[in-house]
Structure 1
Amino acid sequence: MMITKISVVIPAKNEQESIASVIANLKKLSFSEDICLAEIIIINDGSSDNTAQVATNAGAIVINHPYSKGNGAAIKTGARQAEGDIIVFMDADGQHDPKDIPRLLDKLAQGYDMVVGARQKGSQASLGRSIANKFYNKFASYMTGHKIEDLTSGFRAVNADKFRQFLSLLPNGFSYPTTSTMAFFRTGYSVAYEPIHAAQRLDESNSHIHLVKDGIRFLLIIFKVGTLYSPLKLFLPIAASVFLTGLSYYGYTYFTAGRFTNMSALMFTTSLIIFMVGLVSEQITTLMYKDSE
C-alpha cells in the first residue's frame, strides 16, 4: 500500500508563546492508514525570542533564517526542505486548528491540487479586513472566472511538486497565498476551498499586521491579481472606459463648439497606450508561466 507523506510547514517569527501548543496539537492528529505525518517544519524567520528553542524542544524540525526575510521567504524555505508528497501550510500563532487538516486532505484526495481553508464569518481580525477580503475575493473571482472564497488564507494543503513549480514567482512578503492561488488557476491546476474557522491569536500583542501599512500593501494585491492571472482582462476595461470618456467628450465639444479638442485626442491616445501595455503584459505573463513549467 502506498503511503502518502505529509509535511507541515509553519513560518514563525517571535511566536514562543504559541508555537509549542501548535506543535503539540499537530502531533495529536490521527490519520487514515495510508497517510502519515512525516515532519513538522518550523521556519524561524529571524526571531528575537526563544521561538527556535521552544519549537525544537516540542519535537519539530527547525530551520533558522539569520534575519527576517518575510513570510513568503519562510514558505519557500519550508517548501524546498519538505520531503512529503503533500505540504500543509499554516500559521504559528494558533489561529489555524490542526484538526481541520484531515478535512483539507480528504478534499485534496478528490482530485484537487490545492485546497485552501476558507475562513468563515467571524474569523476575520476586524470588520475592515473582512470587507477588504470580500472585495479581493470578488475581484479575483472575476479575473479567473472561478469562485474564490478566500484569496489570502495562509492555511492550505498542496501537491508538493506542483507548488514548487512556482517558488520563483512567490514574493517574500505576506502575499504568497494570493500569488500561489492565482498561479495554480493560471496553469489550469484544480483548486478547492474547505470552510474553516480561524480562532483569535493566542498572543494578541504579537501581531505582525499593521492596519495602515498593510492596508496599502493589500490594496496592491488587486493589481497583482490582474497582472498574475490575465493582465489584458484588467487593462482592457480601463482602456475602454478612457476611450468612451474621450468619445463622449468629443461628441460634446463637436456639437457645442464644432471642433475636436486636445483633451479628446489625449484620452484616445491614453486608451491605446493602456491597451498596448495590457497586451504586452499578457504575453510576458504567458512566457513567465511557461518558464515556470
Structure 2
Amino acid sequence: MEHNNKYEVTVLLPAYNEEGVIGRTVEKIRALHPDFEILVVDDGSTDNTIEEAMAAGANVWPHPYNIGNGAAIKTGLRCAQGEWVLMMDADGQHQPEDIARLLEHKDRFDMVVGARTRQSETSTHRDLANWFYNKFATYVTKFPIEDLTSGFRLVRLSVARQFIYLLPNTFSYPSTLTMGYLRSGRSVKYVPIQTKARTGKSKIKLLRDGTRFFLIITKIATLFSPFRVFLPASFVLFLLGICYYGYTFMTQGRFTNMSALLLNSAIIIFMIGLVSEQINQMRYDRVE
C-alpha cells in the first residue's frame, strides 16, 4: 500500500534545555535507524539545544518561547513527515535500542507504549505516584493501564492528529492520549522497558506538579468517562443521606435538613454526570 508520507517513521523528541544529551541521543537514533526522520521540537530553550540537535543531524522546529512539553508534542505531530510517530524523551531516560521493540507491534495495535519496569532508574516517590495514577486510570477506562505517564510511545500519525485538539500543553499529554485512544475504542499495547536516570535536573517539581497533575488526571477522567467519577460520588452522598435519615428518625423521629441536603446533592451530582456523559458522547463525533 502506498503512503504519501515521506518517511516510514518519525522519531519525535520534545526538548527544553537539553544541550548536554540531545546530540548523543540523536546520533544513537541515526546510527540504529538511518532511514527515519528525527524531529526535535525545541520548546524555547535558553542553551545550545538547537545547535546540538542540528549538528547531530536532526530536523529542528523551534518554539519562540517555552510553552510546554505537550505543546511541543502537538507541534511535532503537525510537522512530522512519517507514517508512524515514535515519541520519546530527549533527556536520556529512554533508550534508542528500545525503538525496534515498539515497532514490532505497530501492525497489530493502534498505540504501543513503553512501560517502565521496577528495574528502571526512577525515584520512589514518583513510582508511588505513577502506581496511583495507573490504578485510577485503569478504573476509569476499564483497561489495565501499566504506565499512564510514559512519554515513550508509538502511534500512527493520521490517527494521532485527530486527538491534537484534546491534548494539553503540559506534561499530561501521555495520559490524555492514552485515555482518548481507549475511549474511542482503539487498541493499546504495553511493552516493558527499563529507563535510565535523566541527564540534568528534572523539570517536574513533586509538590507543585504532583498536585497539579492529580487535578489534571481527575479532569481527564471526567472528560473521557464522566459517570465513572460522578456516579460513585452521587452514590456515597445518597448512602450518607439515607443513613443519616435513619439515624435521626430513630433518635429524633424526624427528617432533618442535613438528610435533605445530602439526598438533593446526590441527585444533582447524578444528573450532572448524566449530562456530562451526553456531552462527552457528542464530542467524540469529531473523532473517526
TM range (shorter): over 0.9
Q: How does 1:55-204 map to 2 (within 5 A)?
A: 55-109=53-107, 111-123=108-120, 125-203=122-200
Match of 1:291 in 2: 286
Give the CA deviation at 1:148.
0.6
Equivalent of 2:8 in 5, 11, 14 = 5
Q: CA separation of 1:281/1:236 partners in 2, compared to 1, >3 Å: closer, same or farther?
A: same
Instruction: Tell me: CA distance 1:144–1:124, structure 2 relative to 1, closer, same or farther (3 Å).
Output: farther
Is contact 1:40-1:61 (8 Å) kept?
Answer: yes
Shifted more, 12-21 versus 217-226: the winner is 217-226
Indicate if the aligned counterparts of 2:102 and 2:191 stay in contact, CA closer than 8 A: yes
1:24 aligns with 2:27: yes
* Identical columns (%): 53
1:221 corresponds to 2:219: no
Tell me how far 1:18 sits from its aligned partner.
0.5
**Aligned mate of 1:281, from 271, 276, 282:** 276
Confirm or deny: 8 A CA contact 1:124 1:130 kept in the other structure: no
Give CA deviations for 1:87-111 in whole Å, capped at 9, x if unaligned. 00000100000100111010222x1
Distance 1:133 1:222 in 2: 11
> How many angstroms does 1:197 deviate by?
0.6
Partner SS, residue 86 of structure 1? strand
The Cα offsets for residues 225-255 of structure 1, whole Å up to 9 and x where unpaired, read as 3213210121101100100001000000001
1:210-249 maps to which residues of 2 (within 5 A)?
A: 210-249=205-244
Aligned pairs, how many?
Answer: 285
SS in 2 for 1:37: coil
Q: How many angstroms apart in 2 are the aligned matches of 1:292 and 1:188?
A: 11
Q: Which aligned segments of 4 or more residues in structure 1 are displaced greater than 4 angstroms?
A: 1-4
Which amino acid letter does the alignment assign opposite residue 107 of structure 1? H
Please tell me whether the aligned partners of residues 30 and 36 of structure 2 are also in contact (alpha carbons under 8 angstroms): no
Q: Which residue of 1 aligns with 2:262?
A: 267
* In structure 2, distance between residues paired with 1:251 and 1:74: 56
Letter in 1 for 2:112: V
Aligned to 1:33: none
> 8 Å contact 2:14–2:89 — kept in the other structure?
yes
CA distance in 1, matches of 2:169, 2:43: 11
Of 98-107 and 138-147, deviating more is 138-147
Unaligned runs of 5+ in 1: 31-35
Aligned-residue CA RMSD (Å): 1.5
How many angstroms apart in 1 are the aligned matches of 2:71 and 2:220? 19
Check the 8 A contact 2:175/2:217 in 1, yes or no: no
| Secondary structure of residue in 2 paired with 1:273 | helix
Q: What SS class does the counterpart of residue 108 from structure 1 fall into?
A: coil
Aligned-partner Cα distance in 1 for 2:69–2:136: 24
| Alpha-carbon distance change, 124 to 137 in structure 1, aligned in 2, over 3 angstroms | farther
TM-score, L = length of structure 1 = 0.94
Looking at structure 1, the residues matched to 249 and 207 of structure 2 have their Cα atoms a distance apart, in angstroms, of 46
User: What SS does the aligned partner of 1:107 have?
Assistant: coil
The separation in 1 between residues aligned to 2:74 and 2:123, in whole angstroms, is 28
> For 1:185 and 1:225, how far apart are their aligned partners in 2?
13
SS at match of 1:157: strand
Deviation at 1:2, TM superposition (A): 6.3
Instruction: Check the 8 A contact 2:38/2:59 in 1, yes or no.
Output: yes
- Structure 2 residues not aligned, in runs of 5+: none
CA distance in 1: counterparts of 2:148 and 2:23, whole angstroms:
28
1:145 CA drift (Å): 1.3
